[in-house]
């Protein structure tokens, strides 16, 4: 199915017009973002942890040390809420109370599954590396069988998820449009700097193209979403 069925947890209650349940929209945001925040309850206390991740099909993969308390909690069956957010712009209004931001976000709810199959685990690690830096995996030394046993890798299904998006300029009180105050958007984007060589890099080894020309993936170089403009 190209569209997820909204659930009580994923249904947007405020500003529902900003919501999207289209898989293509959800996947595009997940594929462009670099860091997710994983929220869960640990001993009745809320915990939020930033983590690297990757999407493969309709699954999210997380990985880290087996001593990581977030991964340990998820491995024990704790329900998780995963969020990623891309900040696209600062929206400046004529009124202090109507300032906003343009953004794209995805929220996922689910229970994690521990990845124990060696083939899937290696593929998950490859996906996480490639998600951060496409083209990197073929160049690096692959983990040995012993090393592959060390990290904890979890999978969360993308069965219960939604996107929320905002674009456009400020929404003002009608009387405020006449105020002589600049209003509009300051667009923001992630801009990589030039690669910096490791201090022990061997002589004659130059940055590969995927490092020197690094950029985050988008659909044909454009933003792959179409939320309604604010009005």
Helix (H) or strand (E) holding 77: none
Look at residue 170 in the predicted model and tell me its pLDDT. Answer: 96
pLDDT above 70: residue 129: yes
Q: Model confidence over 56-110: pLDDT tens digits?
A: 999 999 999 988 889 999 999 999 999 999 999 999 999 999 999 999 999 999 9
Using a CB cutoff of 8 Å and minimum separation of 24, what contacts does 217-221 make? 217/31, 217/32, 217/134, 218/28, 218/32, 219/28
Look up the pTM and report it.
0.91
Helix segments in 2-134, DSSP class H: 23-32, 69-75, 118-132
Is residue 31 within 8 Å of 25, Cβ to Cβ?
no
Task: Please compute the mean of the pLDDT values over residues 157-168 and round it to a whole number.
Answer: 96
Which pLDDT value is given to residue 225? 41
Beta bridge partners of 166: 103
Region 148-171: mean pLDDT is: 96
Do 213 and 118 contact (CB within 8 A), yes or no? no
Determine the 3-state secondary structure of 228 from DSSP.
coil
Q: Is the CB of residue 6 less than 8 Å from the CB of residue 21?
A: yes
Mean pLDDT of 160-187: 96
| Average pLDDT of the segment spanning 22-39 | 96
Domain 16-212 coded CATH 3.30.1160.10: no
Q: Where are the domains of the chain?
A: 16-212
Q: How confident is the model at residue 230 (pLDDT cuts 50, 70, 90)?
A: low
């Amino acid at each position: 199915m190209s569209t997820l069925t909204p659930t009580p947890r994923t249904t947007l209650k405020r500003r529902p017009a900003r919501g999207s349940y289209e898989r293509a929209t959800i996947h595009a945001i997940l594929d462009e973002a670099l860091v997710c925040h994983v929220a869960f309850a640990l001993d009745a206390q809320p915990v939020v942890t930033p983590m690297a991740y990757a999407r493969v099909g309709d699954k999210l993969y997380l990985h880290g040390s087996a001593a990581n308390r977030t991964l340990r909690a998820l491995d024990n069956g704790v329900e998780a809420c995963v969020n990623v957010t891309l900040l696209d712009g600062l929206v400046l209004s004529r009124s202090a109370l109507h300032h906003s931001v343009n953004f794209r976000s995805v929220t996922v709810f689910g229970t994690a599954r521990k990845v124990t199959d060696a083939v899937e685990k290696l593929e998950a690690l490859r996906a996480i590396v490639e998600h951060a830096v496409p083209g990197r995996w073929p160049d690096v030394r692959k983990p040995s069988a012993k090393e592959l046993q060390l990290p904890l890798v979890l999978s969360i299904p993308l069965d219960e998820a939604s996107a929320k998006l905002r674009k456009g300029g400020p929404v003002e009180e009608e009387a405020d449009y006449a105020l002589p105050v600049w209003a509009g958007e300051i667009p923001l984007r992630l801009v990589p700097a030039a690669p910096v060589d490791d201090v022990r890099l061997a002589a004659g080894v130059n940055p590969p193209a995927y490092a020197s020309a690094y950029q985050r993936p988008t659909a044909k170089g454009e933003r792959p979403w179409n939320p309604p403009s604010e009005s």
